[in-house]
Amino acid sequence: MPFVRTTSLVLALAAGLPIASVAAAAAPAADVLCPAMPPPQPAAWVAHIEEVNRGLGIPPDYAARHDLRPEPEARDLVQVPRDVYGRKVEMVAPAAAALKRMFAAAARDGVKLETVSGFRSMAYQTHLVRLKLKRGMTIQQALKINAVPGYSEHQTGCAIDLTTPGVPAADSSFAKSKAFTWLQQHGAEFGFHLSFPPGNPYGYEYEPWHWRYIAGSASVTASHVH
């Protein structure tokens, strides 16, 4: 909304306010990384998501029926510990910082957490779904395993798939691990929450390995971690 911004800028200048404070006040909520609920996305982005999903044969009402909301795609990413195969893993900065604190706290409790997958672009997510279709899955089967492109928490850079030594990546046996018990007890202290519990409304299978960082939800702040 350039008109609103210009108006508030003019008003601020007239009032003698520093410009920086105006910019901060005018920043839309969409600029907050990892909110609990994604803000409404720009129409062009939503149209792109819908077009891609049409191309995959996803019913147009699929997202609405599963209570899924279009997610933004992260732009500025930082590296987190490499995955179990030694590949680079990225998240947005606040999520990466919280993950680092959580990994350190887990290590102090004798629990080794490892990454499997962090940020994934919408294009890559589309590729993953296409692979499943090529292997003969129906789109309904594929969408129980892979998030609908454009609606994936991985696209925001706020979600991370985790594992621990002895457990295969993205395997349901993670739910029986000491690491999972630790995450259930302590994840929220660092702002990490289980996105897809059994019977979730989004149509995804139970994913004990998938945790999402929500800004402002950590109950233990950096200064409390020794």
Q: Which residues bind Zn ion (CB under 5 A)?
A: 161, 210
As a whole number of angstroms, the distance between CA 121 and CA 123 comes to 5
Cβ 6 to Zn ion shortest distance, Å? 41
41 vs 156, beta carbon nearer Zn ion: 156
213 in Cβ contact with 192 (< 8 Å)? yes
Cβ 184 to Zn ion shortest distance, Å? 17
161 vs 189, beta carbon nearer Zn ion: 161
**Contacting residues for 156 by C-beta, under 8 A, at least 6 apart:** 33, 34, 38, 71, 72, 73, 74, 92
Of 90, 80, 106, 99, the residue nearest 191 (C-alpha): 99
Residue type, 177: S
Cβ 118 to Zn ion shortest distance, Å? 9
Cβ 31 to Zn ion shortest distance, Å? 24
22 vs 72, beta carbon nearer Zn ion: 72
194 vs 218, beta carbon nearer Zn ion: 194
184 in Cβ contact with 194 (< 8 Å)? yes
Q: In this chain, which residue has its C-beta nearest to Zn ion?
A: 210
Cβ 53 to Zn ion shortest distance, Å? 19
Cβ 95 to Zn ion shortest distance, Å? 13
Sign of the alpha-carbon dihedral angle for 50, 52, 55, 59: negative
Query: Quick check: helix, strand or coil at residue 114?
Result: strand
106 vs 147, beta carbon nearer Zn ion: 147
22 vs 156, beta carbon nearer Zn ion: 156
Task: Name the H helices within 16-152.
Answer: 19-26, 43-55, 62-65, 93-108, 122-134, 139-145
